[in-house]
């Protein structure tokens, strides 16, 4: 959650800076589209689980049975 907030604040700060550096009617929509695409790309990434942090596969564990 903190990483998503940091990406959002950083990207929108960068976008605001770009819009101030290059004033024009087409710059802001292009920057907003680029920010949306970047946030979409970043939110879709997730770190791969490490092999040592994954629980071991145990085939001998009996499934839980609901009690009446």
Report whether 13 contacts 20 (CB < 8 A). no
> What is the reported pLDDT for 6?
84
> Residue 35 contacts by C-beta under 8 Å, 6 or more apart in sequence?
11, 12, 15
pLDDT for 52 beyond 80: no
Q: Tokens 């998503």, residue?
A: 4
- How far apart, in whole angstroms, are the C-alpha atoms of residue 56 and residue 45? 25
CA 36 to chain centre: 12
Instruction: Give pLDDT tens digits for 2-48.
Output: 877 887 788 888 888 888 888 888 988 888 888 888 878 877 766 66
């Amino acid at each position: 959650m903190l990483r998503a907030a940091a990406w959002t604040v950083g990207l929108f700060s960068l976008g605001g800076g770009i819009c101030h550096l290059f004033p024009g009617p087409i710059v802001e929509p292009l920057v907003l589209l680029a920010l949306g695409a970047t946030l979409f790309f970043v939110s879709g990434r997730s770190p791969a689980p490490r092999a040592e942090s994954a629980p071991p596969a145990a085939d001998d564990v009996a499934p839980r049975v609901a009690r009446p």
